Amino acid sequence: MAESRNRRRIEWTLFVLALLSFAYFYQAADQSTAARFDLMRSVLERHTLAIDGYAGFNTADIITFNDHIYSVKAPGGSLSGIIQWLICSKLLAPLLTSNSALYWALLTYLTIVFSTGLMVALMVVVCFRFALALGATEGRAVAIAILLAFGTIMFPYATEMTGEPIAGACAFIAFYLLFTYPGGPDSDRALFAGLLAGWAVLCDYPAILISAALAVYALFKLRPRDILNFAAGAGAMALILLAYNKAAFGNPLFMSYEAYKLPGNTQFPEQAVGFVGLTFPKPYNLWKILIDPQRGLFYCNPLLILSVPALVHFGVQRRLRAEFLVTLFAVAGFILFNASFGESIVSWGGGTATGPRQIVAAIPFMILPLALVPARWNYVIGVLGAVSVFIMLMAISVNPHFPYEYANPIRDYAMPAYFRGDLAYNKDTYFGGGPIVGDAVAFNLGKLAGLPPALELIPLAMLWMGAAILILRELRLPIIQSRVLLAAAAAGSLAFFMPPVVGAVAQISGLSASHGLVGRYYEGLRPAGFPPHIVKIDPQIAFNNVAELGGLPFPSCVIWDGAILIPRPGLYAFAIEVDDAGWLTIDGRPVIRDPGDVNHPRAAGKIYLEPGRHSIELGERNLAGDASMRLYWQTPGNTDPVIVPARVLIPPPAYAR
């Protein structure tokens, strides 16, 4: 009885920890998630499945069919949040007229928390139970449940209105219900497992790979009568999908992605190849989705490298041969499925994403085998798990919608922003309205509460430490082991959450130099009254890519100012190479004029200068994609332009050393 109470308290702690951690972040709009919200609004407000009235600016994940626009996504993602949307929209209605920006942000945020976040939090508890049922110790079961929540790409996607994490949660819970089937009649369990397996497909079409494996597993696991109950549950969900297809497209067997093959379609041409974009697994795609830093799963979640040997260990467990086959099929099936897309990052990479988005539903099946590996693996699991948690914390805290232009977005996009305390800066809105906090629509609860940027994650750190204390107390480990683990948790929290604090202090202390110009880096094409995201002294203006230019999402701009030291009188020629546009003024006189919001990669100008210091200001504007900026000069008597050297650039007096 006491053991049962302890486990219940652990389960509640895991659930609250996961749900509150997911609820700590609001990521603002993304193309994939917007398509789900558009369908919710269309159903509730216009009583139609066409999203014509909402899809004009917030999503490209659409199809045109019979002169109407539809979401290309599986409908289950929208259906999973439609009741929550309806309730929250009523509760927040007074905000719509007084602060529409906050209304739309809170409405989408709460819908995500009580749909995607809630389902993934429940899955975390089920992961704990599943590990125990497989024979894992309580400590190992807690560890893999926590690592599923925070050490995999499930973490950022649990904060998004997208179908993949919901599908993964449903399929995984269905697997647990079938595995723990008591052997006697249990029609409710079988029916619920079937409903969940069907709902997984309704949320994410590729989840049919897992649900099909579960159906075969059910044939061998359930009594004949309960097989029918499982089939009834899954069949009911299939009827919903068929009804949706019939109502939207006039044919119950027509899948939304098939519209990309219709005559006249020019959007996502790779989706018109093969069957809805699928052909055969390609080695190039396997490399990109597993290894490559741009979206590679093992790169952003090194913990999951252990899934490969863990699956081998799982396979030698004779008593679990059927469960091993289901797990192997789920993992291998999703990886090979993802590798069968076209060779564009939009296809195999899932667009602007953290890791390969289309593998998310298989993530719990990759974590599960770790429940069975020997205790000697604990150290390796701990180290790789900690690295994975840190990477995911950086991604979710900054912006998990990794842009295309970064070959290594963790290193060049998420990490620099995280280390300078520049968090939650997505500016994209679902349905209009301006920024919520500062110049951003995205927020974390610390930011929303008005905490300084360097301290925005401290409440989350306190939540994690509090949960660690509660769980360690319930595990009733030997006192020495408990203290060691608590010390490790404290050290981990410091390592995870201190970089924004240290980075903010380092940025201020680094604003002193003898040479260079002060650069102020802004989101948006102009400062627009908001403070810069980065202020630093740049020795030279010689930046080759967007990562070197601060890694800010486009559109963005940088303005440098200070003085230039002219050695002798004469006519000086200046030139810039820029992506996308730039300008230069000296002593308030335009040398290279601002071309405006256009792509103007090269520009030059001349000015006569006397010896001595002259004030200088130059700027760079990035309209989209990659960015670069290089400032050249050609001094009197020289024929070749060179990068303006640091020795002639002087920061403003307030920054000079």
Summary mean pLDDT of the chain: 92
Backbone angles phi, psi at 440, to 5 degrees: -115, 150
pLDDT in tens, 232-288: 999 999 999 999 999 999 999 999 888 888 887 777 777 777 777 788 889 999 999
pLDDT at 656 over 80: no
Which stretch of 14-28, 470-484, 576-590 has the lowest confidence by average pLDDT?
Answer: 470-484
pLDDT at 481 over 90: no
Strands 602-609 and 570-579: antiparallel
pLDDT in tens, 67-89: 899 999 999 999 999 999 999 99
Q: Nearest-CA neighbor of 9 among 518, 375, 330, 475?
A: 475
* 368 token code pair: 């599960």
Q: Please tell me what DSSP assigns to residue 75.
A: T
User: DSSP for 20-40?
Assistant: HHHHTEE----HHHHHHHHHH
Whole-model pTM: value is 0.93
Backbone angles phi, psi at 42, to 5 degrees: -60, -45
pLDDT in tens, 376-403: 999 999 999 999 999 999 999 999 999 9
pLDDT in tens, 134-188: 999 999 999 999 999 999 999 999 999 999 999 999 999 999 999 998 876 677 8
Where does the pLDDT of residue 328 fall: very low under 50, low under 70, confident under 90, or very high at 90 and above? very high
Backbone angles phi, psi at 576, to 5 degrees: -125, 145
User: Are 22 and 169 spatial neighbours (Cβ–Cβ below 8 Å)?
Assistant: no
Provide the sign of the torsion angle of the four alpha carbons 643, 647, 651, 652, taken in this order: negative
Q: What's the rounded mean pLDDT across residues 592-616? A: 94
**What is the pLDDT at residue 118?**
98
User: Are 15 and 122 spatial neighbours (Cβ–Cβ below 8 Å)?
Assistant: yes
* 642 token code pair: 């060179």
pLDDT at 113 over 60: yes
Using a CB cutoff of 8 Å and minimum separation of 24, what contacts does 450-455 make? 452/504, 453/421, 453/422, 453/423, 453/500, 453/504, 454/421, 454/500, 454/501, 454/503, 454/504, 454/505, 455/500, 455/501
* 591 token code pair: 């040398």
User: Are 196 and 230 spatial neighbours (Cβ–Cβ below 8 Å)?
Assistant: no
Q: How far apart are CA 17 and CA 449, in angstroms?
A: 20
Q: How far apart are CA 326 and CA 210, in angstroms?
A: 8
Q: How far apart are CA 248 and CA 255, in angstroms?
A: 10
User: DSSP for 467-482?
Assistant: HHHHHHHHHT--HHHH
Q: How far apart are CA 101 and CA 422, in angstroms?
A: 22
Q: Is 635 buried (19+), middle (13-18) or exposed (0-12) by CB count in 10 A?
A: middle
Element (H, E) at 580: none
Q: Is 493 buried (19+), middle (13-18) or exposed (0-12) by CB count in 10 A?
A: middle
* Domains parsed from the chain with CATH numbers: 513-650 (2.60.120.1560)
Q: How far apart are CA 198 and CA 121, in angstroms?
A: 20
pLDDT at 293 over 80: yes
Q: How far apart are CA 70 and CA 39, in angstroms?
A: 8
The Cβ of residue 195 has, within 10 Å, a number of other Cβ atoms equal to 20
Q: How far apart are CA 545 and CA 550, in angstroms?
A: 9
Peptide bond into 356 cis (omega under 30): no
In the block, residue with structure tokens 């509640």? 12
**What is the pLDDT at residue 442?**
95
Q: Please tell me what DSSP assigns to residue 184.
A: S
